[in-house]
Amino acid sequence: MKKFADKSIFLLVYEAGLVNNQYEFSKLCGRNPTWFSTVAARGIPMSIAALGTLAANIILSAELELDAKRKPRLFALHAKLLDEIAVRCRAKAVATRSQPCPQPHRILPETF
């Protein structure tokens, strides 16, 4: 799976016609208007929560879209965001993992 840079995500949303600037993008991510400018300038990655809110807003836009030609593009963008969320969640899980995953318990016959 490809990992998207946050600026690439902004450009995908911009090119889809959902936002005109970083302020609108920030709001679509559920943040204050200057949020994306700040995190982009500081090189801070977007949180998984912000990506989740963005994905939720995009799927809502896709469902409400009246233009039949634009609808598939919005659904594809939503799918890309879900993939990105999965990549970031996995990376976070791997990075924070301190010990191997416990094996499922085998069910043994009870002995008395």
pLDDT of residue 5: 85
CA distances from residue 68 to 8, 60, 63, 65, 75 in whole angstroms, order as listed:
25, 15, 11, 7, 11
User: Has residue 66 got a pLDDT over 90?
Assistant: yes
pTM comes to 0.80
User: Has residue 1 got a pLDDT over 90?
Assistant: no
Q: Which residue shows structure tokens 């836009």?
A: 61
Confidence of residue 109 (pLDDT cuts 50, 70, 90): low
Q: Is residue 19 within 8 Å of 25, Cβ to Cβ?
A: yes
Average pLDDT of span 12-21:
96
